[in-house]
Structure 1
Amino acid sequence: MRLQKIRLAGFKSFVDPTNIPFPGDMTAIVGPNGCGKSNIIDAVRWVLGESSAKNLRGDAMIDVIFNGSSSRKAVSQCSVELVFDNTSKRIGGEFAAYSEISVKRVVTKEAVSSYFLNSAKCRRRDITDLFLGTGLGPRSYAIIEQGMISKLVESKPQELRVFIEEAAGISKYKERRKETLTRIKHTKENLDRLEDVRQELGEQLAKLKRQSLVANRYKELKQQERQLKGELATLKWLAQRRIMDDAQANIMQEQQLLAKLEESQQSNYSSLQALKNQQTMTKSSIDNLQKEIFTVGTEVTKLEQLQLFAKKRRAQIQSEIEQITQTGVSLNMALQSLLAEITDAQEKRAITEPEKEIIQEQLFELEDKKVGADARLEKQLRVATQTQDAFYSKAQLLDKKNSQIQYTLSLQTRTQTRVDELIDELSNLANKQSNKELAQLSDTRHILTESIIKQEKRHCELSDQLHQARAKQNEAQHAYEHQRDNTASVKAKLDALEALQMSSIGNTRSSTSASRANVEPVLDKFTKETAWEFFHVENGSEKILNSVLQEVGAVWVIDAALSDPITHNWPLAVWLHAPQSLLFKQSFTQHKVKGTLASLLINELVPQLFNHYFLAMDHTHALELLRVITANDRIIVPNGDIYTIDTFIKRHQGDNKIARAAQIKILHEQHTLSQSISMQARILAEQTLESVNQIQQAQDTCHKQLSLDKQRTQALEINYQNMLFQQQQSVLQSQKIQIEMQQNKQRLAQENMAVEILNDEVNDLVEVLVGLEEIKNEALQTTESLRVQQLQWHAQHTQMQSSLHQHSMLLQQICNSVQILQEQQANRQLQFNENEEKLSRLHLETHDLSVPQDVQHENLQSLLTTQQQQQEAQVLQRNSLAQLELDMAEIEKDQLDEVVRINEIKARIEIKRIALESGKVRAQSFIEQLQQLHQSVKDIVATLPVDADEQTWQSELNCTSDSVARLGAVNLAAVDEFQQQSKRKDNLDAQNLDLTQALDMLENAMRKIDKETTSRFKSTFDAVNNDLKSLFPKVFGGGMAYLALNDDDMLDTGVTIMARPPGKKNSTIGLLSGGEKALTALSLVFAIFRLNPAPFCLLDEVDAPLDDANVGRFCRLVSQMSESVQFIYITHNKVAMEMATHLTGVTMAEPGVSRMVAVDMEQALVIAE
């Protein structure tokens, strides 16, 4: 089984999806510090189920999610997936059929972790169980991180035992054993509860049997009662049916009389209807006459109004004619004035238009002159610009030549200065140190070397003494720390028990009531102690005493009597609670009744109350004792349950304060003894530490002197070598100076020649600049003259444009005025024409109104005559209508009498019908009673005796009901419940048998597993121990190492390791150096791998504390083991890198983001060759 690859996304610095393959047996992961190499190891541990953020170098589990960088945002989740090659079928069970197994873990910002096994969601425990026995796990020996290799050998015995168990493959058995023990414990607890339930169920069945007999008798009586009720209801229904038949016959007689009265009423209704028709026709005639009268009156009124309107309209028309005539005169005068104004405006326009054309021609001529002046000025500006550019170019060239001359002169000065300096250096080189000084330095160096040898010898002696003193000091310190841990452990247990005891006492106090606070100040006046501390019982009787104290509510035992004078002055609150919570010591008795709680107490004095608590061996015995006790006595069984004559008090499930008080006393004694031993160990540790400090101080003094002598020797050596070197350099320096002087003299001659050439060029440029300056001045004068002419033409052009604009505006104003005047003329003419038309219409209307008034008068008189005739006819019609109304009133009176008689008959019929319906309801109620009783009338009538009567049946029903009532409260469910509880009792008995048999099987299996686990652990321990003994001398070139057991019990014993490198006789492994611890741990790990190799081994810089020689041994050991184990290791050592078949690099080119670079060493070597 091999690890094929790791897929990471968002995990720590691996923010991008990263695929890390492991194709070979030895893969080295390299890279600079801080690039994220160790994050790969953390990823493997995390996906295998690591749940401690501290072991992943974080504060919380979400710290493994990439938290962002200077250029990247944080991500919301991370995932890691391990892909294994399972072609060897190392993983068995249901996964043996898979050649490839993937394990994945995902966590989000909400700290929700998800596990996946072959892409299927699973539990963390499923992942752990998958790798149990293979050596893999979040904290197994297959994953060794930085600093962990040396801590491995310093592990506690139980921690080291875990590695041996994993190698033996019994870790999964141990886990199963732990689960099995838990299940056995729960099973036994269930058996206890089941036994209690069975006992209670037996008692309940006896009661249910008696209740079921009563219930059966009750059912028989209820059946008889139901039958009598049905027959009685049938008798009542038959009687009611006879009453209903009589009522129906009376209703038929009344209905016949009602039919005769309704026929007479119908005849009167027909006569009345005929009179109403005549009345309607008469009213219609009267209404028609009224309409004709109204029409004639309307015509009369209309003619009178027309005569009046014609008179008023003639006067109005005459007034309008006069007004229109005056308006026409005004409009004629306005038209004449507008014609004169239009003529004046047209004359002005004729004068202004020729003036505008002349100005337009002059403006065109000025435009041409302005364009010519602009062109001449632009041409002259280009000439002037070219002249200036030529002048400035020559001037810049002149400045450049002058700068070159100045630079060459400065070079001459610098070269001459350097020649003078070289002459001085040649003179100084003659003054050198003599050989005499070198001889003095050599003698001094020899003296200091001898002093250093003596100091080193002294330092070695002090180192040996310091090593021995530290060994003693470590032993004393370990003894002190061990004893201190024991003391702290005892103290922690003691504090926890005391806190629990005080909490329990506090709960007992507070359980009485809030007014109990009034009792405490009074109790402080007495010598008191808690009841759980005062009373002492024989072993095994703590539950009994604890249950009694809780039942009576006793809390304190005080040194007083209830009859003392001081108690008579207690407040009311104290008297309310003292008898329940207080036991008065002065009132105790020495008399102890045999077979009671008092006989179990070791105390000489006991409360009289305890003589009333009799002891029973079990619940059956308690029930027997109940027959002989009095009302004040109690029966208590060993588990704390209490019986009285009429009640059963279940044992309180609270804490056992009696047992806890005894345990607290023992822990007090252990704590006092442990403190004394710890103090002695601390004094011894301080003494050994003082001795170590003295030797250390002497060693430091020697080391300082040795360092000082070495520094002086090193300084003298440096001075001596410097002198020799300076002599050799003096000759070489002289030769260099002479060569440099010759070169500087040649350079001076070249610089003088360059200065002369530059001076000639400068003189020629000055003459050219004088000629260019004259040409430039002439061009500037011409340009200025042309610019003045241009400004003059521009001014004239602007003036002419302004004059043209003024004439254009004036001409536009004149045209607008003419147009406005013409529009006003048209409007005045239109108004004049309208007035003429209106005047014609008024003359025509005056003519129409001149109709003769005699014709209208004749028409009015004719209409008045017609109106009078119509009014007389209307009076006759109204008299006829009054006679019809009198006839109708007489018929309606007769009809009203008939309606009264009909209503009386209907009322009688309705009353009888209601009585009939009431009878039907009563009959239906009897039917419903029968339906509720699930009986029918037909069946009862068939079996009912002929001489049956209601009174006899009612008497029998009352007797049956009294019999039911005498039975009292009846549990009707007792029959069914008795059957159900009987079945339940049988089931519980069967379950009890099954649980007992299963428990026996589990215990037998446990014994078998323990035997096999012991055998496998012992054989594995021996094998690992033998491999360690053979590997250790190979790694160290000698020495010895071995494993040892702390105890003979193979199931729980711890494992310790001891190692002594060649030439050392250390008493503990803690005295080894860091490198020795690392090699020892590696020897142990590889010894385990030989026996049970894990699929792969992850090593994180385990070679860091090793020197080059030990790194070589480490590499050879890893190479040998790689034949059976896949190694993935992180290293900075070149030797370890050379050993790998594949190199995988981790880079951090982008700050905070890790990326991979993989190299195949074999391919790299082929390419290099």
Structure 2
Amino acid sequence: MAFLKAFSLRGFKTFARPTELVFEPGVTVIIGPNGSGKSNLADAVLWALGEQSPGTLRGKAMQDVIFAGSDGHKASGAAEVRLLFENSGGAFPGGYAEVEITRRLLRDGTSHYVVNGVPRRLLDVQELCAAVGLGREMHSVISQGRVEELLNSSPAARRALVEEAAGLMLLKKRRERTATKLERVSADLARVGDIEHEVRNALRPLKQQVNAAQRHQELSERIARVEATLTLREIMELEAQQNRLTREVATVTERRQEAERELTQLRTSRENEERGFTQALAVREAQAATVNRIQSEARRLRERRDDLAQRIGRWEADLGRLERREAVDGADLANVQARLAALGHPEGWGVGRLAKVRSLGQQVTVELERLRPLAVRSREQEDAHKDRILDLEGARSRDRQKAELLEREIAELSRRRGHAQTKGVEAGEAVEVLRQELAVTLRRRDEAAAAAEPAAAAARAAAATAAAARQQLGEARAASRRAEERVATLEGRARIARQTAERREGLPDGARELLRTLGSAGLLVEHLDVRPGFERAVAAALGPLADAVLVEGRVSAELLAGTAGTMEVLAAVDGVWDGAGSRGAVDGPAGTEALGPEEPGPWSLWEVIGVPSGVRSVLMRLLPEVVVVRELREADAAADDSGRAGGRLVVTLSGELLRGEFHAARRVAAGPEALLRARRAVEELERELREARTALAEAQEAAVAAERTLGEAHAEREAREKAAAAARTEAAQLIEEAEGMERRLRDATEVAERLQTEGEHLVAAETSLREEAEYLRESVIEAERELQESRVVLAAEREQASRVRETVARLEEKRAQASVLEARLRERVRAHEAEHARVTGECSLLQGRLAGVRRRVQALRAALPAARDLLGVMEALAERGAGFAAQAEAQIQVSRQTTAGFADMLRRMADRESHLQRTLTDCSEEAVDLQVRLAHEQDALGDARERLGVLKQRHLSPRAVTAEEAGALDVDVAETKVEQLRRRLEALGPVNPLADREYRETAERLAFLEEQRKDLEDSLNELRRIIRDLDEHTTRVFSEFFTQTAANFAEMVAVLFPGGRGELRLEEAVEAEPGEPEEDTVDRGLRRPPAGVQIFIKLPQKAPRTLTLLSGGEKALAAIAFLFALFLARPCPFYILDEVEAALDDINIGRFLSLVRRYQDRTQFLIITHQRRTMEIADTLYGVTMGTDGVSRVLSRRLRSGAPETEARAG
């Protein structure tokens, strides 16, 4: 049975000093004068168990329970009450033998709860007390005035008392938490549903935008594919044209090179011919001179006539020849001068044209530099107009949408005007209710947060305890393993030592035979207990006796004769074994301590060995006096002073023998010594084995204890962790509840304020919206006008930009032509300069030669008249020289023909050279033209490839276009298709390029919301099921408990009111509203008001009365009957009755006390009273007094203990 074992308080109300009251099962009576502080003890119990109402504790604020100070005593800084319960019966959960509950309150209002030394929350204390029937209604503590309050309370309050006594408070709190969570989940579900509806509505236009964007993308790809095919077709044609022009350039270049080679060869041949012509002239002149010399030498006179005639003939011939030569040279010079005139001066002919071409190129470049910024500005202006058109179209679309939305909002405002008026009042009421609920939840949240950290600390401490227990278990198991290993090692060593001892190595064959023949025989050394370290000395001292065999009783002579030849000594001793066949008692102080390095000697033989008494007597007869020393140098002190041969025998630890003054020998008896050492080792190992087994058993017991401790630590840790988790969960739930309620309160307040002002602003808002709609319609019209103007301006800008681009292209072409023309002119200038230099040289040669011919002609013309005058004189001479002259003339004719042939050849070579020069010039001009065309084709090919690369970069479809497809393309059909696709693309209008991503994101959000909605629906159904289960369980338990309580009440009324009857009835339950299903009530987390408890009493010889018409004594008895009915149904650990019998007379007091005596063995009664008869039944009596200092003191006396009466002062 659980009961209140001790009760201590400090700084609580009038108990300023530490005060402790010790209680026992039975009846404890507390007495004292009025105002001494008796009732403060009952208030302290209520307060320690979690009472939160200052009014119940007879105060205005909770700080009123702290001692406020008095004369000679300063005010306390805190109030503390400790309740200690006996829990050997396990009524309180947790498995503790004692349960201590402590509450401490500071001046700042901070309150702390401690259960068994661990900080707890108020909720934990309430749940702990509710397990034994000590709930928040506290039916077990009846303070002053509570009797009448109990009877005057409502049926619902009485039902709460019954439920508390039945132990249903935990279930009710759990249902309240579940109902709150249900309401929160319902609100979340509604909010998720609204969001899901909005997302679904937003998804449809996004889908349309996605379709439009996909259609736009598809058309763009198709256009790009066709344009890419056309561009690829253009590239293929340009490449073919480029290849053809390249071949033509190669052909023209080859022709030019061939002409240059032929021209070079022709010039070489002409130079050779000119040298031959000069040589022929020189030969002809040499022949004429030779003829003249011959004629002169033939006849001096005739020679003179002949010479004169020859000279005249020569001069005439020379004159004719020179005249012809002059004519030829004149004609040649005229031709050369004509050609030189035709060629003109190189500087005047080429430089002017080249400067003109360069000037034209610079003008074109300047014009291009001027037009390029204009083209860029035109493109920028075009883009700006495009952007403005897009902005205007977007603004127009937005204005249209806004106008439509405003129309719908205007209609919605009309509907909301009526709706706002009806919701305003409801919102105000909801705000007030939420404020009250929020205050309660915030208080519970603070208490839960304060209790969560102690629970976590307790869990951490339990975890540390479990870790320590786990470490202890590991150490215990390790020790157990080490002990097992030591036991196994020692067992093996002991087994080997026993086997060594049993083998008896070094034993003579005769001894072995005798031992085998006589089963009862044994070796002498096996009956000796030798001190460790003295084995070799003892074996040496025994000498031949070390191999002796001990036999029980007499031995036949035949046996001795058969074995004597193989033995040193054979001894037969009586009384060696006891009656059981084991070795007899051993005499002597051999001991088991090993020889220490500092232990002084010498030692007597009998000090280092222990032998049975029978064997000892035989050995004393057979052995001389033996002294054992460490070394021989110590033998002098131990030697026999007589020096007789049969004197003292001195033996060293190493086995050296010394008899008298003579050193006998070093005797080494390996067999006996080993046997002695083996026996000693066996004994020591067996002793160590026993110790190791004992240690193993202790280690195993320690491991078992550690496992048990670890299990308890794990259980404690799990319990602490569960408690901490529950505390954290509770704190988190309360925080969520508080946040949710704060949000709901803010929302409700905002709704109320909004609804309050919404009705006033709706008309103004509607008017404003209509004005805004009209403004938007005008804005749409203005946007249409600006859009049309922008489109016109854009068309003009496009046309101007097109013209600028055409001009730029034309100028680019002219600049390229000028560059080509400049290159061609430079080439022609170089050729003209070479030709001009050659013709100039030829003209100079001809002019020099013609000047010489003319001088000779003039000289001959001047000499001929004189020569003709002399001709007559010299006719005779001429006739004689005619033969020679004719001959010379013939030779000269031949030379003339030769020179004429040379001249004709030179003229033909000049004509050919002129033809080749013209051919070379034509080839150069043609090559330049072809290179210009090739450059244009290369530029066009680069532009086409760049366009194709841009298309492939921006679109995917052009990347799949092949050369075969481009080759088979019909260009006209393709261009028509592109125009059609462009018109379809323009018909689509502007599209949203981000629509696909927005649609995917919105779809993912919708899927997430659907999943959240399903989870919330599952949670909602689970919470409904939990509430239904709790309601069913609560109803069943309450029904059973109430039936028992009603029966007990009828019995108590019969005892307290002899002849009277009492009855407890349940009120009729409130039915649900018509048309309201049960599920709707559960969904709102609500519960129909439970049926209250009515009390009916029929007193003997009186008409049935209501409780309010009973007298004071009858009310007290009725309340006592109700309390005892609850007690009998489910007893509490204790009951505190504060002057409940004050209104009773002696007879009724006797009836009340008879109930107390009858049931005092089932619970504990603490009665505060002034009645002497009540004092008489007390087992323990406490008296409360108050001195002049205003501090309460407690005196105690035990009345039924059987010991002498004592009086003590508490506090």
Q: TM-score, length-normalised on structure 2?
A: 0.36
User: Bigger radius of gyration, 1 or 2?
Assistant: 2
Q: TM-score, length-normalised on structure 1?
A: 0.37
